[in-house]
Amino acid sequence: MAVRAAVLPAVGSPLEITAIELPEPGPGQVRVRLAAAGVCHSDLSLSDGTMRVPAPAVLGHEGAGTVVSVGPGVAHVAPGDEVVLNWAPSCGSCHACMLGEVWLCAHALDGAAAVHARTADGREVHPGLNVAAFAEETVVAAACVLPLPPGVPLTDAALLGCAVLTGYGAVHHAARVRAGETVAVFGAGGVGLATLQAARIAGASRIVAVDVSPEKEELARAAGATDYVVASEETPRAIRALTGRQGVDVAVECVGRAVSIRAAWESTRRGGRTTVVGIGGKDQQVTFNALELFHWGRTLSGCVYGNADPAKDLPVLAEHVRAGRLDLSVLVTDRIALDGIPAAFENMTSGKGGRALVVF
């Protein structure tokens, strides 16, 4: 069956909105009709070569939809079920999984190298980050499908598949923010806005949002920021001024650039925690000297997919949505069609807006 999809023909090339031929689900596979797909910075990083992806590929890894059909051996979902896509399913048996660190699974992206579909002229197409959500429908491994808990709007639920899991996990699993602590969040895009909400849910006493764009202040405050700083060379000084000259207990960097990682580090108090969520390129080199590492006693850590276990965290997030503590609509600044994805990429490159959501 042919469906419309946004296909990356080659790394560095513009996306093509074209028809692809999807196979019927085989053993252990599920066919999903997408309701919505978020446009994440990781999709941009895949398209420009910052992250590697087999091409041609259907990008998109943050999505939700309805099960159309299932292949043999699939029992946890059935046609008609509403589901969230999980782009990084864990194998359950590698070293990381045996340690309980499922977000570091060695085989999470094995499916990205498989043949997902074919174009009208017969070219093989791969599923970018496993789930190929920039399409009207997709066929994925059963492990990539999580039942959507009741009470969460299906369209907005797409955000749970990446931005919200990442931001929530960065605060609650990686940085482990405690009630009363101060937090700075660098970057007010989709993940940053989710991180701000997670810091508020954690009970942070002061939440400072940092972004290069002054226009994002209203968005950031709606998500939970108590203060807003326009990024500059003076950002660490400004944050220390807001925190009694100490710096924040926790800084979460959601940009992936050397300058913002360094600024987040310098904005963290002595003995505080700096958590890096943003995905940067190999050219983004961050330097520290031995004396400052000793003197400041800070912890610097990376964070993959929010250090989350999607199967366990999704019900928790759904409960926050139902209780009104987590507002998914705050993250969305643009609702677009498939052909609006290139413009959404341009907005991310220039630092505009929060999350763009493809609505089918």
In a domain, 315, yes or no: no
Q: Based on the domain organization, do 111 and 144 belong to the same domain? A: yes
Question: Which tokens is 237 given?
Answer: 């000084």
Nearest of 60, 32, 87, 63 to residue 157 by alpha carbon? 63
Q: Based on the domain organization, do 9 and 153 belong to the same domain? A: yes
Q: Which residue in the block uniquely carries the two structure tokens 């405690």?
A: 178
5 vs 22: CA distance, rounded Å: 11
In a domain, 309, yes or no: no
Q: Based on the domain organization, do 226 and 296 belong to the same domain? A: yes
Q: Which residue in the block uniquely carries the two structure tokens 């931005």?
A: 163
In a domain, 240, yes or no: yes
What's the predicted TM-score (pTM) here? 0.94
**Sheet with 248-253, side-by-side order of all strands:** 227-230, 206-211, 182-186, 248-253, 268-276, 299-302
Q: Which residue in the block uniquely carries the two structure tokens 């790394």?
A: 11
Q: Based on the domain organization, do 221 and 109 belong to the same domain? A: no
In a domain, 311, yes or no: no
Cis? peptide before 89, omega within 30° of 0: no
Counting Cα atoms < 13 Å in the Cβ hemisphere of 141 gives 19
Instruction: Give the range of the structural domain holding residue 19, as residue numbers without chain letter.
Output: 2-161+327-359
Per-residue confidence (pLDDT) for residue 50, from 0 to 100: 84
Per-residue confidence (pLDDT) for residue 163, from 0 to 100: 95
In a domain, 320, yes or no: no
Per-residue confidence (pLDDT) for residue 351, from 0 to 100: 79
61 vs 28: CA distance, rounded Å: 19
Q: Based on the domain organization, do 219 and 141 belong to the same domain? A: no
Q: What are phi and psi of 207, to 5 degrees?
A: -130, 110
Q: What is the mean pLDDT of each run of 10 residues along the chain (360 residues)?
A: 92 92 96 97 87 91 97 97 97 97 96 92 92 97 96 95 96 98 96 97 98 95 97 97 97 96 98 96 93 97 96 96 95 94 89 88
Q: Based on the domain organization, do 213 and 347 belong to the same domain? A: no
In a domain, 264, yes or no: yes
201 vs 169: CA distance, rounded Å: 12
Strand 145-147 to 82-85 pairing: antiparallel
Nearest of 274, 253, 277 to residue 265 by alpha carbon? 274
In a domain, 93, yes or no: yes
The DSSP-derived string for 297-338 is --EEEE-SGGG--HHHHHHHHHHHHHTTS--GGGGEEEEE-G
The enclosing H or E element of 222 equals helix 217-223
DSSP-based three-state secondary structure for 15: coil
Per-residue confidence (pLDDT) for residue 276, from 0 to 100: 98
Per-residue confidence (pLDDT) for residue 45, from 0 to 100: 87
Q: Based on the domain organization, do 292 and 235 belong to the same domain? A: yes
CA angle 79, 83, 62 (to 5 degrees): 135
Nearest of 338, 100, 328 to residue 222 by alpha carbon? 328
CATH, residue 118: 3.90.180.10
In a domain, 314, yes or no: no
Question: Which tokens is 110 given?
Answer: 């094995």
Structural domain total, the chain: 2
DSSP-based three-state secondary structure for 5: strand
Q: Based on the domain organization, do 211 and 297 belong to the same domain? A: yes
